[in-house]
Each structure stands twice: as structure tokens, then as C-alpha cells.
Amino acid sequence: MEYGIHALAGLAGVSARTLRYYDQIGLLRPSGTTEAGYRLYGEREVDLLQQILFYRALGVPLKEIARIVQADGFDRLRALESHLSALYARQTSFILFDFSNTKK
């Protein structure tokens, strides 16, 4: 399935401008374009956008995200395991912070 820029932006909760910027910096290229020049994104790009947004939610700068996802031998499973580990660590820190504040 292919998505236009506005459809993908709506699905992902980002603006079309953000997707254009990601294209401009080479982070997320469309899979193709229509005859009229509109960007099209396939499943691979949707998956990559999810990875990008996850790293952004963790506060990773775009240059670092590009280095991670564009590296030779990028291992999607390892990246997902890393995401899960980071989420657990973040969740634990929130729980500990909340616990320390309720003790006061």
C-alpha cells in the first residue's frame, strides 16, 4: 500500500512539512512520486518513520537518528530490542521519581 504525504502525516501524527524536511535532509525519502510530482510512501517508509519517531520521542537528535538508521548492517530487530530496553529504563525512572515524590 502506498500513502500520499498528507495521508502518511495524518497516520503518523506529524505534519506534511516534517515529512518534507525529512526528505530534504535525506532521512526519509519517498518510495516514488506520482506523475504530478506528489510524494508516495510505501510500507518500508512507514516502518522507517515509526523508527524515526520513536527515537525522536527519546530525544535523540536527527543527525544521530540518520546515523543509526542509515548505517550498513542496520539490524531492525536489534533496534527494536534497544527501543524496548530504553522504554523500560525510562519507565523505571518515572516510577522511581514518582515514588520519591510521594514519600515526602
Residues paired with residue 40 on neighbouring β-strands, in sequence order: 4, 32
Three-state secondary-structure class, residue 32: strand
Summary mean pLDDT of the chain: 89
pTM of the full structure? 0.72
CATH 1.10.1660.10 for domain 3-102, yes or no, is yes
Average pLDDT over residues 42-63: 91
What span, in angstroms and rounded, lies between the C-alpha atoms of 12 and 53? 9
Any idea where the domains of the chain sit in the sequence?
3-102
**Which range is most confident: 22-31, 49-58, 87-96?**
22-31
